[in-house]
Amino acid sequence: MTSTSASINFITKQLQIYVGLFFITTGIIGSTIYFLLFFYSPKLNRRAYSHYILTLSLLSIIYLLNTLLSRVVINGFGIDLTTQSRFLCKFRAYSNQYLLLCFMYLFVLASFDRYTATKREVEERKWTRKKYVHRFIMINLLFWLVICIPHLIAYNIGSNGQCACLSSDYQLYLNYFAAPALVCLFPNMLVGVLGVLTYRNLTQLHQRQRSLERQLIRLNLSHICATVLSTTPYCLQRLYAVIYNAPKSTVQLALDSLFISIGQLSLGCCFASIFYTSFLTSKDIRMETSKLFLVVIRGKRQNQIQPTRTVTRLSTMAMRMMA
């Protein structure tokens, strides 16, 4: 039994290190490219929807660096600075929950934007204008900033020296509502319904309007599929933890730790995959990405050529002065 649990714990640790670092590396690279595409490309940033993508990309980078990287360091390498500082304990708990909720519900707003963009009524399409998009983004960021404040109060370093939620009532709220409903059920249900309605409206649009919107709508639908699939293991793990809370053996505890790690890594995959799902499903994203790389390569070549030309001119001038 002891050897079995030790083997499971070893597998869990290796998963945290290698899969976690893989998601962090690929996710930061992909989200950075995605941000640059929608920031610089005139073809992609002419729609207000691009502001959702820009914000989602930034949140993804911050989440991977803050949340997933800290999990790899703590669970994979056994270095936990939150046990040494109350500030770090509270900040990590607060920022983890804040970034997760911001990302999930900003994605809901982005899906709502694509749904209203396919409506025939002009009055309903007004929600896709820039001023409304900016308001929705700011409201989302500020709303969860306030809602997550109890994390700062409830989390602290306990008598066992570990950073944990010390309020039993707030822990019940997290276990039975925040994790299974607020993070999993509500956003996935909303984006799923909005995705179905968007697809239905898209088939009813005339050809010209559909050609203008279909690329961004395809991006959103691919994001919906990737988000629902990548968050499902995390949601199932949270539901299992709520339903089955009986006393467990050492092996069962080790398996629970493995399931928790798989759920957390699947959640990290949700943040790391936003660029790659778009790259696979959108021809425009592939074309704009290739253009971006060409610009970077040409810029490097020009930077290499320019100093050479400058040195040549200076040497020529020096030779003339000497003559």
Query: What is the residue extent of each domain of the chain?
Result: 2-281
Q: Residue 308 pLDDT > 50, yes or no?
A: no
- pLDDT for position 47: 79
* CA–CA gap between residue 238 and residue 222 (Å, rounded): 25
Q: Residue 242 pLDDT > 80, yes or no?
A: no
Q: What does the pLDDT average to over 214-228?
A: 77
Which residues fall within 8 angstroms of residue 304, CB to CB, at 6 or more apart?
A: none
- pLDDT for position 321: 45
Q: Which of 66-80, 162-176, 301-315 has the lowest mean pLDDT?
A: 301-315
Q: What is the pLDDT of residues 82-104, one digit of tens each?
A: 999 999 999 999 999 999 999 99
Q: What does the pLDDT average to over 173-180?
A: 88
Which residues fall within 8 angstroms of residue 199, CB to CB, at 6 or more apart?
A: 221
Q: Residue 200 pLDDT > 90, yes or no?
A: no
Share of the chain above pLDDT 70, in %: 88
- pLDDT for position 311: 40
The pair of structure tokens assigned to 297 is 């390569």
* CATH number given to 2-281: 1.20.1070.10
- pLDDT for position 208: 46
* CA–CA gap between residue 22 and residue 28 (Å, rounded): 10
Q: Residue 108 pLDDT > 60, yes or no?
A: yes
The residue that leads in pLDDT, 118 or 107, is 107
* CA–CA gap between residue 210 and residue 107 (Å, rounded): 22
Which residues fall within 8 angstroms of residue 84, CB to CB, at 6 or more apart?
A: none
Nearest alpha carbon to residue 285 among 57, 58, 44, 50: 44
- pLDDT for position 211: 53
Could you count the other beta carbons within 10 Å of the beta carbon of residue 125?
A: 14
End-to-end Cα spacing for the chain: 89
* CA–CA gap between residue 78 and residue 285 (Å, rounded): 39
The residue that leads in pLDDT, 118 or 273, is 273
Q: What is the pLDDT of residues 6-33, one digit of tens each?
A: 888 899 899 999 999 999 999 999 999 9
120-124 long-range Cβ contacts below 8 angstroms, 24+ apart: 120/204, 120/205
Could you count the other beta carbons within 10 Å of the beta carbon of residue 197?
A: 16
Which residues fall within 8 angstroms of residue 297, CB to CB, at 6 or more apart?
A: none
pLDDT band, very low/low/confident/very high, at 313 (cuts 50, 70, 90): low
Average pLDDT, the chain: 84
Q: What does the pLDDT average to over 116-145?
A: 88
The residue that leads in pLDDT, 218 or 169, is 169
Q: What is the pLDDT of residues 154-165, one digit of tens each?
A: 999 988 889 999
pLDDT band, very low/low/confident/very high, at 127 (cuts 50, 70, 90): confident
SS (H, E, C) the chain: CHHHHHHHHHHHHHHHHHHHHHHHHHHHHHHHHHHHHHHHCHHHHCCCHHHHHHHHHHHHHHHHHHHHHHHHHHHHCCCCHHHCCHHHHHHHHHHHHHHHHHHHHHHHHHHHHHHHHCCCCHHHHHHHCHHHHHHHHHHHHHHHHHHCHHHHHHEEECCCCCEEECCHHHHHHHHHHHHHHHHHHHHHHHHHHHHHHHHHHHCCCCHHHHHHHHHHHHHHHHHHHHHHHHHHHHHHHHHHHHHCCCCCCHHHHHHHHHHHHHHHHHHHHHHHCHHHHHHHHCHHHHHHHHHHHHHHHHHHHHHHHHHHHHHHHHHHHHHHHHC
Q: Residue 310 pLDDT > 60, yes or no?
A: no
- pLDDT for position 212: 47
